[in-house]
Amino acid sequence: MKYLSCLTCFIISIISYQVDAQKSIEKQALELFDKYAPKIENSNEAVIAYRRAILGDLNNDDLTDAIVEFGMAAKGGNSVLFKHAAIYLNVNGSLKVVGGFEPAYCIQIESIKNGIVSVLELEACALPWPKTIALHYYKLEQNKLVETVKGEAE
């Protein structure tokens, strides 16, 4: 019984460590993004209305990478006019920005699983509850997200 208790403690500590590591990667991605955000705003003559990090393994190296999706609004406004994303790869525990993602449609990144990024195509960015037009799948190739059929990359 004593060994079972130790095993339980060990498993809980591993899970806790993984959760802390995920939070650290998310925090790191958002901090890196925030440092670069003024340049994005200036080049687009807009303001960043929101940003969020999506975590997962983009390049199948068993390290947690991140994509920061962000929405841009006109200066003085708050309606998101378009969304883009920044791609961050985990290199030995530190994130490095490797590129951007700017498709011709309004995005909502759903997940990163098994090297596949699932992205919803929305009818618009400014509507309160836009309809989903399509679901797209991307994989990372030469630091760019390239559209793929989900099954091809698995």
Q: What is the pLDDT along the chain (154 residues), one digit of tens a residue?
A: 555 555 554 555 444 344 445 569 999 999 999 999 999 999 988 999 999 999 999 999 999 999 999 999 998 877 888 999 999 999 988 999 999 999 999 999 999 999 999 999 999 998 788 999 999 999 999 999 999 986 554 4
Q: Which of 152, 121, 151 is nearest to 135 (CA)?
A: 121
Cβ(85)–Cβ(101) below 8 Å:
yes
Q: Report pTM.
A: 0.81
From the CB of residue 63, how many other CB atoms can be counted at a distance below 10 Å?
16
